[in-house]
Structure 1
């Protein structure tokens, strides 16, 4: 044991300070987690699970008792009715149509059931199929369901009652809600032979009232039949209907899920289900909570001691030096100016400062070279735009001169003039977004003269971003791409949407067309190929380089439906007019 402990101490002593700190943190955290887990698993959870089960077992047994009491009351009412001389006379007489016989029997039934608020209907059937009934709600009778098997099941009760949902299919309400049917055979008092059947149908409220005293924000109840259909209650427990349908139930309270309990009421097709939302902490004794709080405080104190250890184990000169040198991670290459002893740490500081001076010089040199390169490349791209667009525009005007009146040619030339006034912008490298949109409008007006109504241009420019300054001629090439590679190849009318809005900390510019679209393979091909011609790829590269690669873009498309380009420019990179 001593050798083992000695080896651990020796290993710990030989580690670097960072490794020592990591190991100490790991030991404390592991101890903390293990103790908390042990307290929860072996004290809290064990007691909680047992308590929850017993509490909900008592609740479901109480609900069952309430339901059976309701059925017992219904059984008593049925006995009063079937033993009355008026009902027995109706069942035994051969002259059932005689005036007053049916009325007297119905009067007795009404008298015995007037206080039953949950009662839906009462039916008395003679052996020859003739019946009388009273209804509190609209109840339909389907006598075809009252076959020999239906009668045999009732007769097997030997005078007792059976419970069925919707009378085994013989009854239904117009509302679609189920009725709970109490059914029994009526025997003649003298001959003890069966002379008829009594059916008392109850609304589903009789079930709801049985658990209403327990139904609160912490509990939910659902009553199922043996086929897993909901009779009454919350639909949130419907997912457990498969358990019932598969017969995974018993007359004992069973937990089928976390805090979900189920029970079949004996000799009935009724299954009770309950979900308990009670918080676990309600079952934890105050002394246990106090113990946990004390343990947490002790743990926090341990972490505090650990912080002191880290602070005083690292010498102040080293800590100050590391703090100053850490600024390099943010890209701020500033020399360390703290006062340090004239020893190895001081020499390290001097060497570090000398290195930073040289690095700053090299970075400045590289930045100047990169700026010069980007400016030359940008100028080349813009020079490439001018003849490209001018050629296409003059070709359009030439066609107009051959096919259209002079007024239209004049309008086209005037539009071209407006375009170039905006485009040249007195030699400015940047123009406002509204001027850039005006360039696009003039461009599409020229194209509309050539292609007619094959496209419609739609603009949605947020007022807040109209005066933002952007590189000139970045929208027109993308719009041209939408026209020539989206709308025109489709051969039918389409729309070109130009949108600009502020979204969080970015300016979002969107160009979308309802043309032929493009597959993912085609998009990848366009974005990856290196071509000297000006187009979508060149424009996106130009924007990215202009903003030092801080711009992002997104291309989405569906073949045959649309093609959309979204450009995201950080607001911090933009200027306002």
Structure 2
């Protein structure tokens, strides 16, 4: 999850105005995404329900239309078989040509004005046929009919009708499909069969009744015969493979969406139990696309308008809220330059106004506290320097004058004079016009005069090596931070050794820091003393005012030096001490970028 933390960190670093805009932008995206998702879900459900209801309604309408057609044909057939002339002529055993002509005349008159009927065939028990047709078929004889499977079924109906396709194969010479309506003609008196009637209805008539659309396809199954108006062989094969007709054995009506060659169709099935036929209807969902596009146009327009309003509102809110804050922060940048001045922006009686008032109060308070701290720090630094000076003055002055008087008594006037001059320079340099910070060059002048005096006093007990780079001579440091360290080297390192010693002073620049080293070859310190000084460094860097009893035993000069370095150069400064039974090395590391007076 590091990447998430990285993103959050970058977000936290952005300006408030950018955060507000990003927040609203994400809000818009979420709102639009959720709205579109809900809309698509609701639209799809609505459209599916609408198409389902329309499909079921249409197939019910189609079924009713076919039922009405069949009922019309049924009523038509009843009128014919009830006709007295037809009944009379069919009862005659040996029919004359007049009887034959009379029946066909009645048949012709009955269909001439009925567009639904394509042809009518009547057969008597003797095998004679009577017909009237708008289209010529091959001759149909009773003997051929008796060989058809449906003939026995028609007899068993005893006057009821049956339906099949193309007379069970007797017609369809012109490759046109027909619905064939078949029933036995019974005698009106004794209800005995006196003939057989066939009525043919052309395919176009059925299509007109169904009122199919341009791309609508239908499959009607009557008993064991199939009637189809679909021209797409792939669609027909698909339907047969899925065996939707068998599905209608268990369901009276069903709806399903199918996809054929990347085209979606609405498949609707209906089983008419009254007449025993099954209807499958397949319609391409072209209307669905137009409906979806219509809905999409409306919702996208609404979402776009809302998005524009929200984005515009976010810009307005961001500017209204953040402009005073931007002005406030631009004025607050002066603090980074050390200018603690009150700010003045347009007055608001809101959080911005409270922020301004609180900031101005804070600036006044901070400025007062900083002035107080500066004065306190100056007082502390002067006190510490005074302590160092007081530590140097009494005994050093007394011992130096005593040494000068001895030199005069021994008639070593030149050395006495030089010592007196060095003492004068030492005190004049150490005063430095009251400055607390001086350059390394001036610090070295103080040390040289101090060591000159001490070397005469102790009869050249030690030698001094000074190796300080010229490029750091103007670097500023707290006054008298090296003198206490050199004094310790002399008094606690070389003098107790009882033999000639060496004091080295080294100064150099290393990268972005200045390194100052005071080194001696004296008797050094034991582990306990060394550990005490190192603990003192930690105490001072942690700004702990209270020190243990062991800390109080150490020279005042070293703690004051460490504290003054830490005050001026901060946590980046380092005070390092290393010592063995032979010699001590004190290293001070100061950052270059800190240059305070």
TM value normalised by structure 2: 0.43
The higher radius of gyration belongs to: 2
TM value normalised by structure 1: 0.44
